[in-house]
């Protein structure tokens, strides 16, 4: 068994964060797998140095609904045995929010979950997406698979997970229906890895840039690594990197013990 380090980061535009030193950060952190959300780009729009980073294979899922929207990517040192680009449901897959990588001893989901703030229709889309994801994950659990899920979930789970819970009870991202879905997800056999190691308030992953909330640490914890219960013992650490700038989100990470070869 060896230790693998995984990072997840909503970069709010991979081309923008590239100009702010994304590759240098990736090489400095020396993670084995880096999951990125909200790339806002298709691979053909990216410079070669963002496709072929030394030591990593890259995989991209991009929106076919509109350009400059959504999108996820994975940079991986270990080679997955299979990569899927959705749940097999076009209305969710077409927005480029999903990458599912099978590493044999675990399956990794990198997902940019929808935001529900725009309208009632988008909130319903978000809840439907949540349910489609859970159905897919449940089917894998029934096969005895070990699962890791990372990404921008766009919901703070509990009051401890945002600076101003009372003021945001009617805001998408902290609505009862959204928080209850995370309860349901965990009840199906998943664990919030960060809370395995840290039960303190004040740990956030997203801050409103318009109000300079990051300087005051008025934030939300909406980026997660979850693992299935049958993989919990393999998780050796979970952390947030709030000092990393370049996006309105910061990276989150875990360290796991695995047989996956690099």
pLDDT in tens, 217-253: 999 999 999 999 999 999 999 999 999 999 999 999 9
Q: What 8-state DSSP symbol labels residue 252?
A: E
Q: Which of 152, 161, 192, 223 is catalytic?
A: 152
pLDDT in tens, 84-115: 999 999 999 999 999 999 999 999 999 999 99
**Count of CB atoms within 10 A of residue 27's CB?**
13
Percent share of the chain, pLDDT over 70: 99
pLDDT in tens, 39-59: 999 999 999 999 999 999 999
Q: Residue 26: how many CA atoms within 13 Å on its side-chain side?
A: 28
For residue 172, what pLDDT is reported?
Answer: 97
Statement: residue 149 has pLDDT above 80: yes
Domain range annotation of the chain: 2-258
Q: How far is CA 100 from CA 83, 146, 149, 194, 229, in A?
A: 6, 13, 9, 21, 19
CATH architecture of 2-258: 4-Layer Sandwich (3.60)
Q: Which helix (H) or strand (E) holds 237?
A: strand 235-240
Statement: residue 177 has pLDDT above 90: yes
pLDDT-based confidence at residue 120 (cuts at 50, 70, 90): very high
Is 246:1 a contact under the CB 8 Å cutoff?
A: no
For residue 261, what pLDDT is reported?
Answer: 67
pLDDT-based confidence at residue 66 (cuts at 50, 70, 90): confident
Only one residue has tokens 């991979």, namely 14
Catalytic annotation present for 152: yes
Only one residue has tokens 């990593």, namely 56
Distance between CA atoms of residues 179 and 54, nearest Å: 39
Q: What is the mean pLDDT of the chain?
A: 96
Pairing between β-strand 82-84 and β-strand 98-102 as defined by DSSP bridges: antiparallel
For residue 259, what pLDDT is reported?
Answer: 85
Among residues 85, 78, 144, 156, the alpha carbon closest in space to that of 116 is found at 156
Helix (H, G, I), strand (E, B) or coil at 164: coil
């Amino acid at each position: 068994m060896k230790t693998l380090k995984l990072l997840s980061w909503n970069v709010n535009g991979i081309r923008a964060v590239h100009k702010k030193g994304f590759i240098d950060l990736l090489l400095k952190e020396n993670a084995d797998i880096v999951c990125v959300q909200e790339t806002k780009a298709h691979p053909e729009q990216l410079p070669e140095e963002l496709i072929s980073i030394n030591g990593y294979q890259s995989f991209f899922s991009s929106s076919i609904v509109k350009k400059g929207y959504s999108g996820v990517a994975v940079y991986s040192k270990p080679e997955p045995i299979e990569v899927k680009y959705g749940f097999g449901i076009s209305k969710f897959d077409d927005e480029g929010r999903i990458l599912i990588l099978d590493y044999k001893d675990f399956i990794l989901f990198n997902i940019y979950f929808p935001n529900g703030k725009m309208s009632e229709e988008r909130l319903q889309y978000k809840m439907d997406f949540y349910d489609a994801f859970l159905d897919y994950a449940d089917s894998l659990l029934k096969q005895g698979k070990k699962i890791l899920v990372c990404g921008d979930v766009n919901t703070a789970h509990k009051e401890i997970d945002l600076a101003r819970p009372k003021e945001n009870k009617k805001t998408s991202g902290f609505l009862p229906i959204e928080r209850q879905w995370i309860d349901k997800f965990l009840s199906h056999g998943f664990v919030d890895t960060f809370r395995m190691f840290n039960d303190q308030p004040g740990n956030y992953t997203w801050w409103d840039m318009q109000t300079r909330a990051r300087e005051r640490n008025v934030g939300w914890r909406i980026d997660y690594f979850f693992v299935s219960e049958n993989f919990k013992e393999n998780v050796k650490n979970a952390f947030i990197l709030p000092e990393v700038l370049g996006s309105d989100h910061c990276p989150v990470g875990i360290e796991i013990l695995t047989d996956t070869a690099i």
